Amino acid sequence: MPRICVIPGDGVGPEVIDACLDVLFVLDLNIQFEKDIVGIQEFKKSGSYMTTETLDSAQNADAILFGTLTTPSDPAYVSPLLLLRWNLELYANVRPVKCLNPEFCMVPLDIVIIRENTEGLYGAVEREIDDKIITERVISQKACKRIIDFAFNYAVENNRKQVSCIHKANVLRASDEMFRNMFYGVGVNFAFYNKIRSNDYYVDAAAMHLVLNPENFDMIVTLNLYGDILSDEAAGLVGGLGFAPSANIGENNFLFEPVHGSAPDIAGKGIANPTAAILSASMMLDHLGFGDKADLIRETLVDIYADKENWTVDVGGKCGTKEFTSRLIKEIENKQASL
């Protein structure tokens, strides 16, 4: 039986993860869930934001279902999420962005952003010299090749037709240029054998084209910071961060989490949209071999959002987290009963 390490975290994390667990429960899956604590709650208890026991528990699980974290002002803080990404070598961050109802989307996007997840400005060394701070960014050939290979393989497996490389090679003419060259080196073979188109954009222009010419994009492969920024932008175009799920993929470990943070402005109010977390749990089900159940959740979400009465507060509706989740569960149960 697969064992899932569930880490709700801070802020709205526990609210949206509880919603996920309620949905997973009605699917009657043969899965074992174990909750672990990280973040501010753990710090108050043990003086550490994530204990080695939790890291081990996550490492030995078949998958990790992760909520959200609040970044405290403590200068010694290192995010447990970044520690998990680095320690478990979760090198590919897969972020599908899909419009569930054109009525609340600015743009009818259906794209997948593949973000390099281990290098770049995350975990960058910052040195203070006199009145300057120097930030060092690492971009390695190994990580570039690995994420580009991953993106093209994902395109083949998921029937995507085009991969766009997003970079800033006109300014970062060594590192980002290496990334772009590697992309075309790998991309030429893939394009030839698998009929996948490849092209590239500077990140600033890509940010504009996402809004004005969304049909230009199918899949994006990009470096860590650009992927972080573009995925929030893309989420904004389809209703907000409440709709953006993600998977962090490594060779042996897999972590699924909503793209959003702990949303302190709405935490505790019962109005967080659980859709991003529930879609992340669906990606986890795909990974565990329960693709039919994952499809059932995704199809039901589209059906639920077709009726304005079911809309969540972030898109102008009235349903809070619990109300939305119970409506979704009811609809899933109806569909399961008629199968």
DSSP conformational letter for 274: -
Tell me how far, at minimum, the Cβ of 241 lies from Mg ion, in Å: 8
Nearest residue (beta carbon) to Mg ion: 228
Residues linked to residue 162 through DSSP beta bridges, in sequence order: 197
Q: How many CB atoms lie within 10 A of CB 30?
A: 8
Q: Which does 70 bind (CB under 5 to 8 A by kind): ligand NAI, Mg ion, none?
A: ligand NAI
CA gap 95, 305 in Å, rounded: 21
Q: Which does 228 bind (CB under 5 to 8 A by kind): ligand NAI, Mg ion, none?
A: Mg ion
Using CB under 6 A, list all residues that contact ligand NAI: 12, 16, 68-71, 81, 240-242, 260-266, 272-273, 276, 314
Tell me how far, at minimum, the Cβ of 10 lies from ligand NAI, in Å: 8
> Residue 227, class by beta-carbon neighbours within 10 Å (0-12 exposed, 13-18 middle, 19+ buried)?
buried
**Amino acid identity of 46?**
S
Q: Is 232 a catalytic residue?
A: yes
Between 263 and 297, CB nearer to Mg ion: 263
Tell me how far, at minimum, the Cβ of 168 lies from ligand NAI, in Å: 22
Strand ranges, E, within 173-231: 197-202, 219-222
CA gap 267, 6 in Å, rounded: 19
Site for Mg ion in 37-76 (CB under 5 A): none
Between 123 and 261, CB nearer to ligand NAI: 261
Tell me how far, at minimum, the Cβ of 259 lies from Mg ion, in Å: 6
Between 222 and 312, CB nearer to ligand NAI: 312
> Residue 324, class by beta-carbon neighbours within 10 Å (0-12 exposed, 13-18 middle, 19+ buried)?
buried
| Token couple for 67 | 């909520």
Between 4 and 319, CB nearer to ligand NAI: 319
CA gap 15, 242 in Å, rounded: 12
If phi > 0 it is left, if psi is from -120 to 50 it is alpha, else beta; for residue 244 that is beta
Please pick, from the candidates 10, 15, 42, 228, the single residue that binds Mg ion as defined by CB under 5 A.
228
CA gap 198, 212 in Å, rounded: 20
CA gap 49, 147 in Å, rounded: 29
Tell me how far, at minimum, the Cβ of 112 lies from ligand NAI, in Å: 18
Q: Is 335 a catalytic residue?
A: no
Return the range that interacts with Mg ion (CB under 5 A); candidates 142-150, 222-230, 284-292, 320-328: 222-230
* Dihedral Cα 266, 270, 272, 278, nearest 10 deg: 150
Tell me how far, at minimum, the Cβ of 314 lies from ligand NAI, in Å: 4
Q: Which does 81 bind (CB under 5 to 8 A by kind): Mg ion, ligand NAI, none?
A: ligand NAI
Between 2 and 261, CB nearer to ligand NAI: 261
| Token couple for 149 | 């290979």
257 binds Mg ion (CB under 5 A): no
| Total site size for Mg ion, rule CB under 5 A | 1
Cβ 273 vs Cβ 292: under 8 Å: no
| Active-site option among 228, 293, 305, 314 | 228
Q: Is 91 a catalytic residue?
A: no
| Active-site option among 77, 122, 184, 202 | 122
Which backbone phi and psi does 159 adopt, to 5 degrees?
A: 60, 40
116 binds Mg ion (CB under 5 A): no
Residues linked to residue 129 through DSSP beta bridges, in sequence order: 132
| Active-site option among 232, 286, 303, 322 | 232
Between 105 and 182, CB nearer to ligand NAI: 105
Q: Is 18 a catalytic residue?
A: no
Least Cα distance to 69 among 23, 124, 17 occurs for 17
Q: Is 142 a catalytic residue?
A: no
* Residues near Mg ion (CB under 5 A): 228
Catalytic sites, residue numbers: 122, 168, 204, 228, 232
